[in-house]
Structure 1
Amino acid sequence: MTVTDSRPARARRRGAEPAPDAGRIVIRDLRKTYTRNDGTTVPAIDGVDLEVEAGTFCVLLGPSGCGKTTLLRCLAGLEEPASGTIDVGGRPFFDTGSRVSLTPQERRLGMVFQSYALWPHMSVEKNVAFPMTTRRARRHFSRDEVRERVAKALATVDIAELAGQPISALSGGQQQRVALARAIAFGSDVVLFDEPLSNVDAKVRVQLRQEIHALQRELGFTAVYVTHDQEEAMELADVLVVLKKGRIEQAGAPRQLYRTPVSRYVADFVGTADVVEATVVGVEGPGLVAVTSEVGDLVVAAPGEAPAAGSSVGVVVRAEDWRVVPDGAAAAAAGVNEVRGTVRDSAYLGAATQYVVEVGGRTLRVRPQGSALLDEGHALTLRVDASDLHLVP
């Protein structure tokens, strides 16, 4: 656990507000490699460029090994990059050109670890106070101020009554709140989260992420949050960053990544989608192209430059965008954006039922609205709007 920059902390104690860009993060051409036992090198971070505006909730999303945790640790100063620059609030944290490399203590960022990193022999309030009582920090925080900040942080995360309890007496969810209270006790401009909810059960996880999101909005700090949980990422993020093999595959608002993924990788990783192989036939109309696909002929939205006729493309279709056409309402033969299929399997998900439907020799995931139940072997017609389809290379 580290502490925030003493300059904005002192400004807040005087009643002044920190600079508008105090929590702004700028990363340029960052690179980090690891060396295997056989001597070969692996690029963990491979030329990352990223800007996070002050007060933004930024989520780094991707599977294990994509580089998201390494990027967070480089920002925190727990890993040394090979090259590039990291700047926070206009202050250089790392720069190979000018040979700047601040220690974690000098960066003074709030951080919530996956393992919580709490002292088991200390009480809750002493754990939260600890970073403010180190030799370097004592000159910035009086005893009265430490007590005030600890009390406020514990009340903010709703565990004030646990102040005197030992860490060993707390549940996983309560320990997570202690770790969060410690990170915000300084009024930090930037708080880093390394998969902080992976060790709590599903119900508590939902509650805690809602609390983290509300606290970030209330306190206004910049959050950089690492997770592999798609639902968690979509709920929390102002800016969602999907990484692949140490590179940013796509960054933007969650809806942008969900509706207009730039690649099959993003389409498959964000939400439930199938990518149907297709060949472009030609322009169908303004912003529309016609394709021949492995499930039939389709018309697809193409708001940008239309791909050339004969191009091989992927058509992204989300499970919830398919609609089941009622018996008797379908045409005698499947028309454009209507396909015929057979139910092969189903899974009840509570809010909806997801079906596996075989169409043209391949399967599609279909999550239609409504409560109608479809039996295995049921033949049906599916329809999807052109605006709900998206092309990827």
Structure 2
Amino acid sequence: MHAWPASEVPALPGQGRDLRIHDTATGGLVTSDPGPVARIYVCGITPYDATHIGHAATYNAFDLVQRVWLDTKRQVHYVQNVTDVDDPLLERAERDGVDWTALAERETALFREDMTALRMLPPRQYIGAVEAIPDIVPLVERLRELGATYEIEGDIYFSVESDPHFGQVSNLDAAAMRLLSAERGGDPDRPGKKNPVDPMLWMAAREGEPSWDGGSLGRGRPGWHIECVAIALDHLGMGFDVQGGGSDLVFPHHEMGASHAQVLTGEFPMAKAYVHAGMVALHGEKMSKSKGNLVFVSRLRRDGVDPAAIRLALLAHHYRADWEWTDQVLQDAVTRLDHWRAAVSRPDGPPAEALVEEIREALANDLDAPAALAAVDRWTVLQEESGGTDTGAPGVVSRAVDALLGVAL
């Protein structure tokens, strides 16, 4: 599966700062100190509907992570998956009377278009769950050999008790885990389970549903969590720098994925930092496909909204915050974009070197994009009120905003 084309990232003078970022597992800021190549895995979409603003906010956060690392002169090895076979996709395809593979291909293509328009840097590997099945099967077989699995009517489950570190990503109690498992694709009430939150590794073939040859596992399809583990371990290995996604993935997805990987390898932790973006609401409720209260990036683009304004609307909120999309949020972003573009279109302006450092410091401080935007706003006000004599300043600002914030002026 191919990703989307990369937009050019302008080179800036000097060097960026090391990223300090909030780690869900420890509950505090950690300083990311990758080697020459920073490694990041971000969980991708289940392609049964178009990219909504909540998706865009999540991928924007991890695009900023990449940009901060690139500014420190590191390379970035970014991997993202596509869950192109799962119950929600199959259910949507059946509801709409379409082939599930065609639905997945169509929505994945639209996602690529949205990411390109928003200038999100693409992953080096963009891997679908279906194409990862040959890598998933041996991992499930290995977990079985290690005594970390059991079967119920042909379905193979992972025993969370096999990982001594289970629970150290989310730090939730058993009651909260059980509740979230039920809400987020688990089956805690199924008879025969050793622990209600034990996740499925391999689902035995069901009539009328897609299935694949699983060798000794029998025909079936993989569970959700083992999919990402196979892809991450294959391309990044253990101990990669950041595992990313929305806050709704903390449990069970990232908790379970970490346990799968830790039992498989005998190493801890799977990722040095677990980083999660907040949720975006509409009309007082979390924006989600199941509720249907969505604002689609593609629809905004069709309505003539500049993708740079969409990106500025996302950047106006701290990535970890829960916030609400409104018409005013978008209008504020459009107004800001107009002011910024007018400011950098002038032949000269106030010196910009200090501004570049302010943006760098804000982003290095747990991706504080609102503070970075405020710094550019202050420079813009100076430009509007009194101008300046530095003929290179507008170009420096334009390149810095593009390189560090992903906004093309």
TM-score under structure 1 normalisation? 0.28
Question: Which structure's residues are more often helix, by fraction?
Answer: 2
Structure showing greater Rg: 1
| Structure with higher RCO (Cα < 8 A, 6+ apart) | 2
TM-score under structure 2 normalisation? 0.27
Question: Which structure's residues are more often strand, by fraction?
Answer: 1
